[in-house]
């Protein structure tokens, strides 16, 4: 028998890359102004948060820093369902009169005046006034009975 030939193992030749003269390698700069941020630093403070998040955080800070008068602070909490139903029933009793009801009332008072009787019931019935500016002026003129 003929002898078997064993092929010699060839080692892969390492190809040395030459440095590109246009882009020389420099050590990384992790200082201020470097491209890499240091690890372990919490940057959540510098995130641009959505507008609603910013607003609710600013509101919380303002409420901590300012003393809100009780007359305004009462509007921070909503009214319960039962209490709201009671208030709406009360408002319904003192609902402003409609145009037709006012027209009829004015006609009746004109008829009473024409017949020669006293027109004491000429005043409009009590009603709920609304609107921030309107209510404020009524309070300033001391015409508001219940606020």
CB 87 within 8 A of CB 79: yes
CB 97 within 8 A of CB 127: yes
pLDDT in tens, 62-86: 989 989 888 888 888 898 999 999 9
According to the model, what pLDDT value does residue 121 have? 65
According to the model, what pLDDT value does residue 2 have? 65
Regions of the chain where pLDDT drops below 70: 1-2, 6-8, 38, 119-121
């Amino acid at each position: 028998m003929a002898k078997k030939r064993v092929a010699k193992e060839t080692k892969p030749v390492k190809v040395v890359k030459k440095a590109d003269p246009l882009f020389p390698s420099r050590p990384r700069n992790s200082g201020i102004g470097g491209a890499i941020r240091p690890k372990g630093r919490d940057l959540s403070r510098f995130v641009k948060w959505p507008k609603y998040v910013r607003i609710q955080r600013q509101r919380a800070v303002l409420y901590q820093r300012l003393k809100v008068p009780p007359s305004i602070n009462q509007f921070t909490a909503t009214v319960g369902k039962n209490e709201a139903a009671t208030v709406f029933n009360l408002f319904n009793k003192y609902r402003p009169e409609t145009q037709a009801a006012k027209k009829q009332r004015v006609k009746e008072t004109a008829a009473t005046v024409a017949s020669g009787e006293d027109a004491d019931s000429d005043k409009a019935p009590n009603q709920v006034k609304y609107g921030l500016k309107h209510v404020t002026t009524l309070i300033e003129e001391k015409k508001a009975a219940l606020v």
